[in-house]
Amino acid sequence: MDNINDLKALLGTPRDIVITTHRNPDGDAMGSSLGLYHFLNKGGHTVRVITPSEYPEAFAWMPDAERITIYDLDPEYSEELVGRADLIFCLDFNALDRIDKLGELVGPAKAEKVMIDHHLYPEGFADFVLSDTSASSTCELVFDFVHLLGQEQELDDVIGACLFTGIITDTGSFRYSTSPKLYRTVANLVELGVDDYKVQDYINNSLREKHLKLLGHCLNNRMEILPEYHTGIIYLTKKDYEDFDIQRGDTEGIVNYLLKVKEVKMAAFITEQPTIVKISLRSKGDFSVQEIARKHFKGGGHQNASGGFSFQPLEVTLKRFKALLPQYKSKLEATTV
């Protein structure tokens, strides 16, 4: 961020600030938003977090999660907050269409916009940009941002627990996107008093019986391994959503089970939603699912974790996904993990 000094000056007096993040917020979206919220609160600003849609129950423990405004539930209040904000922080997303209708408010809002993000190919909608695609998470970048402001003395265990949450979820508990710098950041967070065991317990051991039953169903009845393409697929039908009473967030992490198969280098989780078919992609090594999400499913994301969607029926989308595999076969074969 080369104009950091202008932003420092802006933050020099108390401001009306909105922090927003992507729809279906995950641990990184929640952690970066609430971490930054607690930091800016300490600076005397008036801060509100707005998420486009509801957040999973697994993050309800996060300090002040209950103060979050959810656009879907409260569009008018959200509009008011965005309208009067001096500054809008956009965290863990890089294109306004990732925040649905909220994007139509944020785009033209009078506020200065700050984007902090680690996804590929950022859109140029913000006045201040901290974008680093090599960062593990937006939480790691919020930690860097506080240092860029020269206010690291303001970091504390509450901010730390929020930032640690996104680092844990986006790295799959230190399995991907790690770096020496990330481990130093985490050491710093633990020194601030973050109870790393407790946070990991909140995040990794928060399932209910119905989640394990759903996982069993996915693995027993909805999984297909295509060894010749090093690809695994799990899909869920609309009826599955009814039968297993699947709510937002309940399917989190299921796609990763496919990667536990030694030969599998690409994993696809394809689900029939009320109006679209959602595609979640994961990969190992240097095989990029970002390209597949972007070219074929109107989406994007990271090299090893991307997503998109299709307006075609589930059956057709599944067929279309499988029909893509021959053209990626040699790349998948060549990918080393």
Selected binder of ligand 5GP within 15, 48, 113, 119 (CB under 6 A): 119
* Run of H or E including 224: strand 223-226
Rounded to the nearest whole angstrom, what is the least distance from the CB of residue 155 to ligand 5GP in the complex? 25
Residues from 219 through 278 that contact Mn ion (CB under 5 A): none
Q: How far is the CB of 137 from Mn ion (least distance, A)?
A: 5
- Kind and range of the H or E run holding 281: strand 277-283
Of 266, 256, 21, nearest to 119 by C-alpha is: 21
Q: Does 305 bind ligand 5GP (CB under 6 A)?
A: yes
Helix ranges (DSSP H) in 43-149: 75-84, 101-106, 138-148
- Looking at beta carbons only, is 35 or 300 nearer to ligand 5GP? 300
Q: Which of Mn ion, ligand 5GP, none lies near 265, with the C-beta cut-off 5 to 8 A by kind? A: none
- Residue 90: strand, helix, or coil: strand
Under the binding rule (CB under 6 A), the answer on residue 299 touching ligand 5GP is: yes
Q: How far is the CB of 207 from ligand 5GP (least distance, A)?
A: 17
Considering only residues 266 to 285 of the shown chain, the ones binding ligand 5GP according to CB under 6 A are: 280
Task: Give the nearest distance from C-beta 300 to ligand 5GP in angstroms.
Answer: 3
Interaction of residue 51 with ligand 5GP, rule CB under 6 A: no
Q: Which of 51, 169, 185, 306 binds ligand 5GP (CB under 6 A)?
A: 306
For the packed helices 180-191 and 196-204, what is the interaxial angle rounded to 10 degrees? 110
**Residues 97-116 close enough to bind ligand 5GP by CB under 6 A:** 98
Phi and psi at residue 183, in whole multiples of 5°? -65, -35
Kindly write out the interface string for residues 90-119 of this chain, putting x where it contacts Mn ion by CB under 5 A and - elsewhere.
--x---------------------------
Q: Among residues 18, 272, 300, 321, which is the contact residue for ligand 5GP, using CB under 6 A? A: 300
Q: How many CB atoms lie within 10 A of CB 245?
A: 9
Which among 273, 275, 331 has a CA at the least distance from the CA of 303?
331
Does residue 31 bind ligand 5GP (CB under 6 A)? Answer: no
- 309 interacts with, out of ligand 5GP, Mn ion, none, CB within 5 to 8 A per kind: ligand 5GP
Stretch that binds ligand 5GP, among 2-10, 200-208, 213-221, 300-308 (CB under 6 A): 300-308
The yes or no reply on residue 302 touching ligand 5GP (CB under 6 A) is: yes
Degrees to nearest 5, angle at CA 96 with 131 and 249: 90
One of 309, 321, 325, 328 touching ligand 5GP (CB under 6 A): 309
Cα angle for residues 97, 102, 108 (degrees, 5° grid): 85
16-21 vs 46-51, strand pairing mode = parallel
Distance CA 159, CA 39 (A): 7
| CB neighbours of residue 76 within 10 Å | 8
Q: Which residue is nearest to Mn ion (CB)?
A: 28
CB burial string 34-57: b at 16+ within 10 A, e below: bbbbbbbeebebebbbbbbbbbbe
Choose which of 25, 27, 232, 308 interacts with ligand 5GP (CB under 6 A): 308
Does the protein bind Mn ion through residue 28 (CB under 5 A)? yes
Contact flag: residue 265 with ligand 5GP (CB under 6 A): no
74 to each of 21, 38, 53, 60, 286, how far by Cα in Å?
16, 22, 10, 18, 42
- Give contact residues for ligand 5GP (rule: CB under 6 A): 98, 119, 280, 299-302, 305-309
Binding site for Mn ion (CB under 5 A): 28, 92, 137-138, 170
